[in-house]
A = this chain, B = another copy of it.
């Protein structure tokens, strides 16, 4: 990506296809995983599958379970254990989405009405709890204590990241270090665990487990940095996507921290008024976007994402070349190429 571009189309050719390539590579397993997800979100309490279907079946990218499926394949796993564990990963992810939307008071999720907007906050909290418990039941059925250790640790780290995000919200004194801690918790921990589990089911040496963990962690950070840049992107706005959610909530993300640290005193006053005091008027989001352009905040956030992406790619070097390694490498480009 050319440094001068403000998150303009500059992705490597074919980055959009990388997800399709990965999906094609594990197509049967992904189908089996989706079937299992639908099967195991059932309950005699009808509201549970109703609400779960809304979010589970509403078609996310299944990025995290795809990591588990592809990593297991990369590591030569020949059984079917990775299918159920990929479903666990998606259940944990879905549970955190449900709770996130309650916490963020979001009205939309993936362009549709969010579960909390449609069903209310209360069932969203409780169905999140159910899916979380169901994830652990699936892991217990798989029977691997190392897998249980990895995913229970990830679940605790996610919650820590979410609480830290809440604690730093509306606080312009937040440091980059704290921001990264939030990102590592709320996003990267599950990416890392999802990939790592692939090596564990294949019974591969510790070095490969660590490599997949590093791949997932760096990919997850890159993914979140790009997400945080997209929330201020004029190009996204032009495409009809929602921008400005983080701004309205006063979330302190890297684009904000960069614009803030590079801004004049008057500009710093603007950020404090809008994010800390949450005193926002018409034109403020536009001004925030302008300040980010002036200070190259989005460009440099994506630049930073790219360096985490590079670290993710390096981590894959311990594995022999092949379609799985290429597909996982392609996902790095896919995540970063969204920033256009």
Contacts and interface: CB of A to CB of B under 8 A. Distances in A.
B140 A156 contact: no
A25 interface: no
Interface in A75-113: 95-96, 99, 102-103
A270 interface: no
Given A45-B163, A130-B159, A163-B123, A143 B140 contact: no
Contact of A148 (B46, B126, B128, B148): B148
A140 B160 contact: no
A127 B163 contact: yes
Contact of A126 (B132, B139, B166): B166
Given A130-B160, A133-B159, A159-B130, A123 B48 contact: no
Kindly report how many copies of this chain are found in the complex they form together.
Answer: 2
Interface residues of A, number: 43
Interface of A: 43-48, 95-96, 99, 102-103, 121-123, 125-130, 132-134, 136-137, 139-140, 143, 145, 148-149, 152-153, 155-156, 158-160, 162-164, 166-167
Nearest to A95: B129
Given A149-B137, A153-B137, A163-B47, A129 B132 contact: yes
Nearest to A159: B130
Contacts of A139: 152
A43 B48 CA distance: 32
12 contacts: A45-B164, A47-B167, A121-B121, A125-B125, A127-B159, A133-B156, A136-B136, A136-B148, A140-B145, A140-B149, A140-B152, A148-B148
